[in-house]
Amino acid sequence: MLLDIDRFKQINDTRGHATGDILLQQVAERLAATLRATDTIARLGGDEFTVLVENATTIDEISTIADKIKNAFATPFETESGEVFTTTSVGITIFPFDDHDRDELLKNADVAMYHAKQERNNWQLYRADMNVNTEDRLGMEVELRRALERNEFQLYFQPQIAVKTGKFIGMEALLRWDSKALGRVSPAEFIPIAEDSGLIVPIGEWILRAAAEQCKAWERAGLSPFTVSVNISAPQFRRSNLLQVVSTVLTQCHLDARWLGLEITESSIMKHAEQTIQTLIDLRELGVAIAIDDFGTGYSSLSYLKRFPVNKIKVDQSFVRDISSDPNDAAIVSAVVAMSKQLGIKTIAEGVETAEQLAFLSRLECDEYQGYYFSKPIPAAEVAPLILSHQLKTTSA
């Protein structure tokens, strides 16, 4: 049986880690008091407990034990910060009935627990068809839920360069996930799952904080300060506390707001344009720079664009790719750059891979670019050497 404490993260966040720790201890005590001396209880990590029930011979017997575990959470837990109410979700797999090997036990209990978690405060027996329909997605979501506490995320940084001067002006922070169980998973695969499950919110906060800390570390190391831009997902942008989260992170990291940029996609800005404007104004007042990401791929209202307090428009790479060969793409980029200039908004082209594309962007007077032509996204440790050698090159040239 794999148990997960419902809403544990929330309890930890709102009541403090000391309360969370006491809760874990009390859960362990209640489990020990509930189960038989022959059963084994282990805490695997985080808020997950594993229970090994031996010599149970009938499903009835197992369901009785599972009910007892569930009931052990019925009364509130006493902590220093007052009573805590919570429940548990339990996934159960049976060996050898389910005809899988021992290594699969935990994985299957995990899948069952995930299903239990959908309703909370209940238990689920593993069924093979839980895997058939949903294994990849569920498996990934299960792993994604743990990725934060297991420290499996990392930020990579892609430099952004001024077209005219060739000077380095900032970076976009990009999320990488090296999952212990799944290996490296591409953002295109896991970001949609993170968005659907709501996990993107805590992950997005992690990204903001990690980017701000890294930016501050570079500043302290004496690299001239530059902007680090973070992608804000649509669910994160829609939440009312984004301003609060951003300002807290800045304060805690002692980072001046002007070194933080937020990239928000065109579609998430335009979706609820009226409500969006105030959020953008508040963020701008805080001092952070705002870029509209993937510009040109969604529906944009030009009249809104005029009212949005944005600093920069990111021209989507789909227009940049064939800019030097496709007259339509060239016309679109040219129009976006010209319009932005009129509105006092900077433009940055993404996905620049060749000298030819860059020359074209330069003719169009696009302000900035990023892409493999200058550098692919690199780990934080490689940033300082890259900047220093680039600075040497541009000053000696």
- Give the residues lining the site for Mg ion (CB under 5 A): 231, 263, 293
Q: Give 19 or 370: the residue with its C-beta nearer to Mg ion.
A: 370
> Least Å distance between CB 287 and Mg ion?
20
> Least Å distance between CB 230 and Mg ion?
9
Q: Give 158 or 276: the residue with its C-beta nearer to Mg ion.
A: 158
> Least Å distance between CB 191 and Mg ion?
11
Q: Give 70 or 312: the residue with its C-beta nearer to Mg ion.
A: 312
> Least Å distance between CB 249 and Mg ion?
18
Spatial separation of the C-alpha atoms in residues 123 and 116, rounded to whole Å: 5
> Least Å distance between CB 263 and Mg ion?
4
CB 85 within 8 A of CB 26: no
The verdict on whether omega for the bond into residue 96 sits within 30 degrees of 0, i.e. cis, is yes
Q: Give 31 or 361: the residue with its C-beta nearer to Mg ion.
A: 361
Spatial separation of the C-alpha atoms in residues 270 and 264, rounded to whole Å: 10
Those residues with Cβ within 8 angstroms of residue 33's Cβ, 6 or more apart along the chain or in another chain: 72
Q: Give 213 or 263: the residue with its C-beta nearer to Mg ion.
A: 263
> Least Å distance between CB 229 and Mg ion?
7
User: What distance, in Å, lies between the first and last C-alpha atoms of the chain?
Assistant: 66
Spatial separation of the C-alpha atoms in residues 133 and 137, rounded to whole Å: 9
CA dist list (Å): 23 to 17, 49, 71, 273, 301: 10, 13, 16, 43, 51
R_g of the chain computed on alpha carbons: 25
Spatial separation of the C-alpha atoms in residues 78 and 22, rounded to whole Å: 9
DSSP letter assigned to residue 1: -
Q: Give 86 or 231: the residue with its C-beta nearer to Mg ion.
A: 231
Q: DSSP letters of 333-373? A: HHHHHHHHHHHT-EEEE----SHHHHHHHHHTT--EE-STT
Q: Give 231 or 233: the residue with its C-beta nearer to Mg ion.
A: 231
Spatial separation of the C-alpha atoms in residues 390 and 123, rounded to whole Å: 58
> Least Å distance between CB 392 and Mg ion?
28
